Amino acid sequence: MFAYGIFEVLYAPRKALKEAVQNPRYVGPILVMILFVIANMGFGYALLSKTYLDQTMPISADKDEWTETLAYWTSNANLTYNYQEYISGIYYGNKSLEFNLNGSSHIWMELNITETLNCSGPEGYKKLTFRVNIVKPAIPPSNVSIYLFSSTRKDSFYKDITGKIDSTGIWNNITISLGQEWTQINEADWNNITGLKLAFAWPNKYNVTLLIDGLFFHGVYKSGMEIAGDLLVSLGNPYSPINAFMQFTIQWVLLGGVLYVTPKMFGVKTVWKPLLVAAGFILMAYFIRTIIFTFVYTASPEIYYTLAYLGGVPGEWEKAYEQIFQKSSLPYQVLWGFDKFVWVWAIALCAITIRIVSEMSWAKSFVASTSSYLLYTLLLLFLAPSAVFL
């Protein structure tokens, strides 16, 4: 028998499922499982190799560590934490840094970067992003300067960013390109950035309160494959052989279970092993689904997930997602349509199986099949949601 009949499900489903029920052997579903695991790994490779993530410093796991810890900073102002006004999001903590200085026209703050940063070349950071909220005075500063130190305070890069902070009482989101249109002072080197200074100036003396949050170097992208590395074969990666095996096993047992239980509601006696074997054959539809998904992702354009999207700031990540979706909408539409076709295909295969074991009418078989598949999908949502939204 050609591959123990598993491929007959694709072109002669009634014959294949009848043979599976009448002569139930686990070798067929095991072959389907092996194919599923291989296809799932291929899909993971296609997806991760087309996905690029914006890398940040501090790294995302540490959130915005630099603006969560006073110890990194020195200033001519008083430093404290502000737990009421801060940026919320996936990459952000639960507070901002507050700088207070009374009766002054100048306020400055310096960040000591503990690790030397490379901001040059293909592997170097390309952008600097941070947030500033000038609580008082209500007058925007007349001058805002930024310095990036290289080894010593005498070696630095300077840039005037006055025009980027023109509002008070709200968060100003500032993103600056690195390596371009900066003034080099002495022997500053973009490969060796060790600190940062912000300086604000007003034409008159004021009581100044200023908040800073969400400071990140970023703009260098790594593919999902590069980030995952050996995780493809680990339990922590959803596309690893171990997780694919577990995912298939859960789907197999659940589908076999609902096919065993549902006919009983119609007064039909059922036997566990034949229906479990038939469920394994039906999951060939999901093997084909994964193959199609893999080809679509392979042919799709590369997707770049920016800090604006990954950071998860309300009102920002939605706009960033819209830009991503515009580029990837066609592949997603194709996959969505084919996924619904697989649902209908699986329901039809379940109906054939139920009719074979129960001899119910086709109408009742499809009602039982649809009920079984809906129950199966709901159970998957709780036990293996990735299997539903793959």
| One-character DSSP codes across 166-195 | --SSSEEEEEEESSSS-EEETT--TT-EEE
Residue 157 belongs to domain with CATH number: 2.60.120.260
Rounded to whole angstroms, how far apart are CA atoms 9 and 279?
Answer: 11
pLDDT at 230: 46
Structural domains of the chain, count = 2
Record the tokens describing residue 254, joined without a space: 């659940």
The H or E element that residue 289 is part of is helix 284-299
Residue 343 belongs to what domain range? 2-55+224-389
Within a 13 Å sphere around the CA of 367, how many CA atoms are in the beta-carbon half?
8
| Number of Cβ atoms within 10 Å of the Cβ of 238 | 15
DSSP conformation class of 137? -
Which residue stretches of the chain have pLDDT < 70?
1-4, 228-238, 384-390
pLDDT at 388: 55
218, 307 Cβ separation under 8 angstroms: yes
Residues 304 and 349 in one domain: yes
pLDDT at 243: 83
Residues 207 and 322 in one domain: no
Q: 286 Cβ partners below 8 Å, 6+ apart?
A: 36, 251, 342, 346
| Number of Cβ atoms within 10 Å of the Cβ of 139 | 12
pLDDT at 305: 94
Residues 45 and 76 in one domain: no
Rounded to whole angstroms, how far apart are CA atoms 188 and 197?
Answer: 14
Rounded to whole angstroms, how far apart are CA atoms 323 and 334?
Answer: 19
Residues 266 and 144 in one domain: no
355, 365 Cβ separation under 8 angstroms: yes
Buried b (16+ CB within 10 A) or exposed e, 272-309: eebbbbbbbbbbbbbbbbbbbbbebbeebeebebbbbb
Give the β-pairing of 96-117 and 193-223.
antiparallel
pLDDT at 242: 84
pLDDT at 153: 86
Q: State which of 174, 202, 220 marks the end of a domain.
A: 220
Comparing C-alpha atoms, which of 211, 171, 190 is closest to residue 73? 211
Residues 234 and 370 in one domain: yes
Residues 370 and 340 in one domain: yes
Residues 340 and 232 in one domain: yes
Record the tokens describing residue 62, joined without a space: 């540490």
Alpha helices in 81-203 (DSSP H): none
Rounded to whole angstroms, how far apart are CA atoms 280 and 291?
Answer: 17
pLDDT at 30: 94
Residues 153 and 246 in one domain: no
pLDDT at 252: 94
Residues 249 and 305 in one domain: yes
Q: State which of 175, 191, 220 marks the end of a domain.
A: 220
Question: pTM higher than 0.75 for the full model?
Answer: yes
Q: Quote the radius of gyration of the chain (alpha carbons, Å).
A: 29
Q: State which of 183, 198, 220 marks the end of a domain.
A: 220
Residues 256 and 385 in one domain: yes
Residues 361 and 313 in one domain: yes
Question: CA end-to-end span of the chain, whole Å?
Answer: 32
Give the β-pairing of 152-160 and 143-150.
antiparallel
Give the β-pairing of 303-305 and 51-57.
parallel
Q: 290 Cβ partners below 8 Å, 6+ apart?
A: 36, 39, 40, 42, 43, 390
Residues 292 and 228 in one domain: yes
